[in-house]
Structure formats: C-alpha cells, structure tokens
Structure 1
Amino acid sequence: MNPASIDEWFPTEQQRKYISLLRGQTNLTRRRAECFVKLWAYLLVKQYDESGNNLELPLTKLLAPKGFIPCTHKEAHELFYSTQERGSERAAGMMMDKLATIGLIEKEFDGNTTCVRVISPLTNLNDTVQPKKSVEVFADVFEPRIDTIPVSSYLRHHFNFGNNTAASHRIARILRNWSKQSSAIMRVLRRCDNNYPVGFYVLYPVAKESEENYFTSPRHSLYFSVNSDSDPIKMAVPGDTNCTCIHIRGWYIEPDYLNFNNICKFLEDGKQSLTKMQADFPELCDMYTIPLQPIYEQLATALGFHKIESDPHSSVSWMYIAVDNYLKLELTKVLSVLKFN
C-alpha cells in the first residue's frame, strides 16, 4: 500500500467535510485536522487490506478502525507531506505525538514499530459500538485494594503516557492517597459478571486556598501528568463551610462501554454523589473540570459546562457549571440530542 495514494482512496472533498466537522467541534488547527483525517482513513484502509476484507473504494465515510494498527513514521510522512516540499519523518512523528496529546489517537510501541489506535471524536454517542457481548454494568464505590491498578492503567492511556509504567505507579499512589481521605467521592462503573472497573470518576472538594487555580492556566493543575509530589489542588475536610468548589478530577468510561445508557447511568450516579457531598459541604456552588479528549469536552458542553480559562500553549481548558444547575439536569433529555456527526 502506498500512503501517498490516500486522496484516491478518500477523495479530498470528503476529507474537507471531516476537517470542517473536526474544526467546528474541537480546537484543532486546520493542519492537525488534515493530518488526523488522512491518518484515520489510511489506517482504516490498511486494516481492511491486511485482513483480506473488502472495503468499497473510494470511501464516502470513515468508520472507526478496530484496535491498534502498525504505522511507521515513514508511512505518516508520506501521508502528511507527499504533496509538500517540506516535512520529514521526524516531523511526521511529532505530528502523531501532537494528535496523541490532544486525545485523537493512542500510540503503542510493540518492539518493532509504532502502533496507532484512532479515537474518533465524531461519533454519535447513541450509535457507539456496544461491547461484543452485552455486558451489564453498575455504579459502585471505588475499592482501592481491587480497583487502583486497573483504573491507573487506563488513566495512563487517558493522559497519553503511552507505555510509561512509572506514570501508572504515580497515578496508583495518588488514587490510594485520595481514597484514604474521607472528603473525596471516588466511584467506578463495574461489570456485573466479573466486577472489573470499566469507568471511573472522582468528585474532589476544594479547599478555599486552592480556588485561585481555576482562574489561571489549567495546565498547572494537571496533577496526574505533572511530575511533582505537591498537589496544586488541596482537598477540603468535611464540615468546611468555606468550601464552595467541587473539582471533577477524573471521569472516563472505557471506549467499548461508552454508550448512551452507560453514560446516563454513570452521570446519574454522579448527581447522587454530589447531593450526598452537600451534606458535608453545604456551601458548594461551583463545579470545574478539565476535559482531556474531544469526546469528553463535547459531553461536558452538552451538560452545560462552559469554558472559562484556556491554556495558550495547549488545547486544555477549564470548564465550569453551577452546582445547582447541574443537579437540575434531566440527563436523558440533554444527552438525547447530542450528535457528533
């Protein structure tokens, strides 16, 4: 397969439609959107070609490739720069790193070459592929003895640390430390058949002295991804009447389980947890989060969160909603109109 032939397999007019959708729903630059669309189409065609399955060409729409697919920097270079004089394999690798950083792809190294998994931000949550087997899930309390390692492993990928096992260890220590404190509410979405966690969130009450963080660059408050033992966000203690802020410091559902019903179930559990937290912190009124992937930014927007502070050097932003407004949400109603394509 010749990556330089991508425009024959997926015509430029179709590419432009996806580029426009991406730029309209995310903070992508045009160049990054162009590269992502080409990479997405190429990996889809490559997967079908190598599996011996037929794929009608030229493509009229993009499907999500399954799993990780090998893609060298040389292939990426031919994809991104075949029609340009400038560009190198190193530049192509850096572009893939940028796409991974903003959550559009995941990267792994299998010992020989880089493998890439596409995370499409243009998926209708109502149509997201269900697990291969219809597995029931339920919301449950985070159990540090059994949930820490699987949750930290997924968060490592969520924060785009790749195969950095040191990052998993750091995240595991943070989770266990938070679980020892009585203030934060940590919950998981658990499979009914084997109790394995496939989703996680933490509601973190914020001490008054840390409130100023929400009026500065969000990049400085990404504790999971900053190599520091000092948490920039201090946790409030139960009964603190000066605590007015709640911080969603993590919220995810694994891709195979990210569907409309599970999202509603997990968010409804979050509303119940927040209501319980108000008993310990009666002055709670502000809620903040930093979505790290486009699909979660779109979800937050649908729920009524608004961007209040962005980082000029990255794509992350603080998003805010009033606690009272959040608790009034009819989740099935606001999410039923959520469209990603």
Structure 2
Amino acid sequence: MADPSRRAGMDDPVTAEAYMLPSGQPVQLVDPDGLHVHNDKYPLPDGEALLKAYRELVVGRRVNDQANALVRQGRLAVYPSSHGQEACQVASALCIGADDWLFPTYRDTVAVIAKGVDPVQTLTLLQGDWHSGYDPYEHKVSIQATPLATQLLHAVGVAHAAKLKGEDTVVVALCGDGATSEGDFHEALNFAAVFHLPVVFFVQNNQYAISVPLNKQTVAPSLAHKAIGYGMPGERVDGNDTAALLAVLGKAVDRARQGGGPALVEAHTYRMQSHTNADDATRYRTDDEVAEWAPKDPLVRLRAYLKELNVLTEELEEEIAGLAETVAAQMRDGLNAETEVDPEDLFRFVFTEKTSQLREQAAMLRDELSRESA
C-alpha cells in the first residue's frame, strides 16, 4: 500500500509527520470576545456562511431548551442536551453536501435537524418509540446511535461502499471523547486509513464521558494525536468557535472528496448541562468549572462577531428568533400529539416470517385485549 506521505505529495518523512500532526493549540478564528484571530492555514468563512451557521445555532439552542422542557412534561423519555456544543453540531451538518452522509451520536439532535430532518421525527427515538422516526436515506443521516462508537463502523462501511461504486460521497462520523476508548473506534479508523476512505471522524471532546474526565481515559497529548498512529492527519479546533469549525471540517471534507483519505478532527468544547436528564453532574464536577466555560458560549461569540461585521441587524435577529420559536412550537405540537399504538407491532417486525413462538404470543395478546374490551 502506498505511503500516506506520498499520497499527500510529500516524499520527506519529516514533512509527512508534520502534515499528520495536529496544531499545538486548537485552531481558533474568532475568540470568545467575538474578535477575529488570523490563521495562515485556515481562512475565515465569509459572512454569508457564518450567518447561515448563526441561524442554525439559534434554532439549535431553542431545540435544546424545548427538548428539556418536553422531558419534564413526560413527552420525551430522555434527552442528552448539547447546550454549549451547538457549534459542533451545526458545523458538522453544514460542512457537507446534500448527498454526503452524517453519522450522529445520541447527543447530536441539533446536527440531525441542521441536516434537514424534521425536528419531531428526529426526537421520535428519544420519545421511546420503537423506530428511529425518519428515513436515513432521505437526508443521508443515519439513525442516532446510543451505543458508543458503533456508528463509526457503519460510517466507514458507507464510505467504503461509496468508493467502490465511484460515488462523490464524503461521510462525517461523529463521536464523543468517551467513544475513543472503545475498540470500535480503533477498528473504524484503522479500516478507513488502510482502505483510504472518504470519511472525516469528528470527536466532540466535551471533557467528560458521563462522569469520567478525559484525563482518566487517555494520557495522549490530545485525542487528535491518535490520528498519526493510523497514518491519517489529525487536527484540533476550538469547539465553541463556529468559524474555526467550519474552516477545519470544511478543509477535511474537501480533502476527503478529492481522494486525500480520512482525517480525525477533535473539537475542544464543554457539556454545560448534565449528561442526560437522568444524570446529576454536580456529583463529579464543580460549579466553578462550569462557570469557566460560560463566557466561551458559541452563540454569544458568533453573534458578537457578526454584529461587528454589521451583518447581523436587529431585524434579522428578530426574524431568526421567530424561526426558532416556530421550530419549538412544531416540536411541542408534534410530541404532545397522542399516537395510536398497535400492539401487533410487537411481533410484526421481528422476523420476516413469524416463528411459532411469536404467533403464539401474538394470539395470547389478542385474546387478552379482546377480553378487556368486551
């Protein structure tokens, strides 16, 4: 197999190693005060791209707030909030095209919606329904995965199939820092590198795998440094800087589409709320730690920069806020609607042809229901 450095047009091993190593510090293009930070390697996205991202950020924040309210109302069984991580969610969806695939985790609801999936359908799985709620093929979005890292293998499979068929498809596979400790993470990255596949692995390092901090998972300089062990480039990016995320992910996607192979991008961000509504984050982290991340809010940061550019007017802000409220209302109406449950679904989709045991169980249930209604 060809050496990765030669694929990248680098005959000098030193140059190749530098090419694969991530930046010393996470890439940042807009600082927490909303000021531009120059970077020779990554140009700043234009105002139109950033305004589109801001729109999705506002909607995403409202989606998180509304979903948390729906949990308290008993309309959602569970909700893993991405409050504070919305920039990662939005950038992962906006950096790819309509025919590219997105493989989300359970925390990536905002990314799924930003890719065009109906909000109510997106939340159907978290409502406790038996199916994912949406057709993965319609928007090229895999169902949200609860098991850690399993979706990475599926993402690599889709990328491999696309390459074999000669399709111009790129796959973005999302995971958290906890997933990098799973065997499936290793298998997915190794396979993607060996077969030189068009997939970008995007790790949202929000500092905790539920209650386990990052320093209890790895002693690597960064998660992005793991890339070099597979022969692919790694990069670190400020996960609360929407502009930097669009630039870094966009470059990785373009490289993959042009035949450059896979890449690993690590976003440094923070989970501002508990792991899910069933978690008590105060048991393993302090309020002071959470408070340190509050000024780095991606929404506040991008708003400040766009106002400085005179791109975001008060009228436009009101329009975007109205759009977010429309989405929230759609979520409330859709998830508050009572659904008719068909007990036969318990048996209908298990096997193509029902086994004798399933037929017997279905008959028993029908008999019980008929006696109750008599």
Instruction: Specify the structure having the higher radius of gyration (Cα).
Output: 2
| Structure whose residues are more often strand by fraction | 1
TM-score, structure 2 length as denominator?
0.26
Using the size of structure 1 for normalisation, the TM-score is 0.28
| Bigger share in helix | 2
Structure with the larger RCO, 1 or 2 (CA within 8 Å, 6+ apart):
2
